[in-house]
Amino acid sequence: MSGQTEQTRVVASETAQIDPTGPRKLTRAEKRAVEAKNRLSSPAASIIALLIAVLWTVPTLGLFVTSVRTRNDIQADGWWNAFTRPLFTGFNYTSALETGLGENFVNTLVITVPAVVIPITLALLAAYAFAWIPFRGRELLFVAVFALQVVPIQVTLIPLLSLYVDTGIAGSFWTVWLSHAMFGLPLAIFLLHNFMKDIPASLVEAARMDGAGHVTIFFKVLMPLLVPAIAAFGVFQFLWVWNDLLVALTFAGSGATPLTSAIADLAGTRGNAWFLLAPGAFLAMLVPLVVFIALQRFFVRGLLAGSVKG
């Protein structure tokens, strides 16, 4: 009996060494996270998500099928009839590329990459200043930056165009880069600032105690933790700039015409090239689709940053 008691005492002692604090009580945020996970992993939620995915994919499938059908078949009946009478051709894509879509595709890449990098770079510096550098009027200035998100970009087009004409850069890539950077900065600063504020202040204080300055803290402490937020805004800005038509029509000149503007002109003044719209649109959506699929994990993590603070 005494041997069993001693054995029980040893097991209890080893258990206490493994988990000396015992069962930990879940916080309110953790409870909400567990409840949300249970709801989203239920069979009903899976079925609903599958139905939404199917409904979301049908228009894309219809666009692709239409892009490879002949002109007469497109005009005769709906795209779903192609499965009962399959007659596909690549002539539409060849004709679309011969109209100059290849050059417009390159212009879109040249516009999109700097239009994503510039606001992210500026927003990172501004967000760090708002989050970790105390200065007079910081709260008021941050509210002003946040309020810029509600300003419609349409009201800024004419003043900006007049400014670009006066400075002699109208119609160049610079006008499109600067416009997209200015329109994306408020959201970028707001998103990155909120993500930085979620980082424990003890990390920054520990770095300062070790003698690190602002540059070292920014690049070695915060930047590795900001990858989800940067990717989230990068995907959002990439999709917006790539699919933009309003800014392109207003500021892009003939030598900087992006893909969206060229697709809008594919039909021609008499509408004799309307059958090229489907292949042009499908070519335009391939790159955003690849970017989103490749970075969707970071995109979701960045958007949910700080959403379960308890």
We report the CATH number of the domain holding residue 187 as 1.10.3720.10
pLDDT for 78 equals 84
Split into its structural domains, the chain has a count of 2
Is 279:67 a contact under the CB 8 Å cutoff?
yes
Q: Which amino acid is at 220?
A: K
Q: What is the pTM of this model?
A: 0.75
Same-domain status, 170 and 105:
yes
Tokens of 86: 């399959």
Same-domain status, 166 and 239:
yes
Taking CA atoms, 105 is separated from 102, 110, 111, 124, in Å, by 5, 9, 10, 29
Is 304:259 a contact under the CB 8 Å cutoff?
no
In a domain, 19, yes or no: no
Same-domain status, 49 and 144:
no
Looking at 54, 89, 124, the residue that finishes a domain is 89
Same-domain status, 67 and 178:
no
pLDDT for 288 equals 86
List the domain range (segments joined by +) for residue 242: 99-303
Q: What is the pLDDT along the chain (310 residues), one digit of tens a residue?
A: 444 444 445 444 444 444 445 556 666 666 666 666 666 677 887 888 889 988 888 988 888 888 888 888 888 888 888 888 888 888 888 888 887 888 888 999 999 999 999 999 999 999 999 988 888 888 899 989 888 888 888 888 999 999 999 998 888 899 999 999 999 999 899 888 888 888 888 888 888 888 888 888 888 888 888 888 888 888 889 989 999 989 988 998 888 889 888 888 876 655 667 778 888 888 888 888 888 888 777 666 655 554 444 4
Same-domain status, 122 and 263:
yes
Looking at 62, 89, 116, the residue that finishes a domain is 89
Same-domain status, 166 and 292:
yes
Same-domain status, 46 and 184:
no
In a domain, 29, yes or no: no
Tokens of 156: 């800024």
pLDDT for 306 equals 46
In a domain, 6, yes or no: no
In a domain, 108, yes or no: yes
pLDDT for 88 equals 86
Looking at 31, 61, 89, the residue that finishes a domain is 89
Tokens of 81: 């009839």
pLDDT for 7 equals 47
Same-domain status, 61 and 158:
no
C-beta contacts of 35-40 below 8 A and 24+ residues apart: none
Residues in Cβ contact with 199 at an 8 Å cutoff, skipping those fewer than 6 apart: 222, 225
Supply φ then ψ for residue 152, to 5 degrees. -65, 135
Is 269:159 a contact under the CB 8 Å cutoff?
no
Tokens of 138: 């910081």
Q: Which amino acid is at 124?
A: L
In a domain, 192, yes or no: yes
Taking CA atoms, 110 is separated from 25, 172, 182, 256, 262, in Å, by 53, 12, 17, 9, 15
d(CA 115, CA 203) in angstroms, rounded, equals 32
pLDDT for 123 equals 93
Element (H or E) spanning 41, and its range? none
Same-domain status, 189 and 52:
no
